[in-house]
Amino acid sequence: MPVPVASSDRLVGTVLDGRYSIESPLGEGGMGVVYRAHQISVGRDVAVKVVSEPAMLDETAAARLVREGKIAGAVSHPGIVTLIDLGHTPEGLPYLVMELVPGRSLKDILRDGPLAVDRALSIARQLADALAAVHALGVVHRDLKPGNVMVIEDEGGPKIKVLDFGLAKGPPGDAEGDITRSDVIIGTLRYLAPEVLFGSAPDQRSDIHALGVVLYEMVAGRPPYVGSNVMTLAARMASGPPDPLPACVPSVVAGLIDRMIANEPDARLSSALQTRELLDAARESLFDATSKVTMDPAPSEITGPVPPSPALEAAQPPPRRRGLSTAWIATIAVLGLSATALGAGLLYARSAAPRGAHDGDYRGLYFADSPPCSDGRLEMNVDRSEISGVAEGVIVVKIRGEVSPTGECRGEIFEGTVKVGTFEGRFEGGRGRGTTRDQARGCGGTWEALSR
């Protein structure tokens, strides 16, 4: 029997159950309309979701929304939107009341281009942690994609909220069952696992595949498979392999993505918890590897490879896309030696006996805030009040600056004799950190380095 549906403006100006004043539509998808509303009793803004016109005009649409509320209400996790209430409109439509999440959707953010690798790994790690909480209930999200992820900027880095459990598959033995017909493929094609595309039941590994596609898209700025229409896209997804990642993506990250989006479910990472651990290890390697590199007395040069950690070795698939078979090549990629990065490549510095409070050699990382800059490796030398260094790659970047007795530093960045940017920051307790600005490319980022 058909159920009544709400258009995107039908409820504006009304008050649901005498408690929720509907103010304006926030967005509309195939299943529901989301409104900004005000919870009168406690004086806070909330989001209200009601079945939309494009939704299936039968009880399945309403049942999905009710079950979405029950699943969201059963999970308590900082990375999953909080359910506040479940009710019905005067016409009998079910509605959900949820926390109003500030920020931008990941889909909207990716319109600006790829993310810095460290930022992408941070978001992916939080998504894996949220999936682990959902999977612990026996639930499969089944529609993880950038449009269902909100990103909130925070002083400690980006925070995420997973939205929309309308297509979720319930746990085995759920009394309400899977309200999806067995002959219907549910989800967004670009993020579907190949086995689901061909009719197999989705499981936790299907969500891991979707997360891998999202991570690929974050670091590449494009999806792993492209097709001119649905049929060609499906054929590309089924036949694999995906399009190559940009060369600037560290091989340890590329290898992890390969394991997450493997065509065969058994070749994929087996759980969201395992995925989270490997994402943590990949992110830590961006920093930890720099402290394991030794330097010759004169001139300062890399003398050996950094052995990968056991956890990261576990993330590496058999050589396929890049053919990187040696630890040395993998190490160089992990350190982010990118021709497009400000500060990418090796920074060589003169060795000098410490003669000031902050003198010494420092090594660390540079994290870009936007393209065309990207993450790279830093090595600095502080000699009394002066900072010096040279970045070598396809481009050569020289660093010159000074440090005050209290540790404040600032300086300039050059390509050859042309000034292309500036940096500033502070040294304290054997650590330096600060910001950079590349005026020539219109981007910048943050840097952090430890004294060896």
Nearest alpha carbon to residue 86 among 127, 134, 48, 135: 48
Structure tokens at 54: 């494009």
CA distance 400 to 380: 10
Helix (H, G, I), strand (E, B) or coil at 189: helix
Beta bridge partners of 432: 427, 449
- Provide DSSP, 120-187: HHHHHHHHHHHHHHHHTTT-B----SGGGEEEE--TTS-EEEE---TTPBPPTT-TT---S-TTS--S
Cβ(401)–Cβ(434) under 8 Å? no
With left for phi above 0 and alpha for psi between -120 and 50, is residue 155 left, alpha or beta?
Answer: alpha
DSSP 243: P
CA distance 319 to 261: 15
Bridge-based pairing state of the strands 418-428 and 431-438: antiparallel
CA distance 230 to 234: 6
Q: How many residues does the chain have?
A: 452
Cβ(67)–Cβ(75) under 8 Å? no
Active site residue 178: no
Q: Which one of the listed residues 118, 143, 164, 361 is annotated catalytic? A: 143
* Consecutive H or E run containing 6: none
Indicate which residues carry an active-site annotation. 143
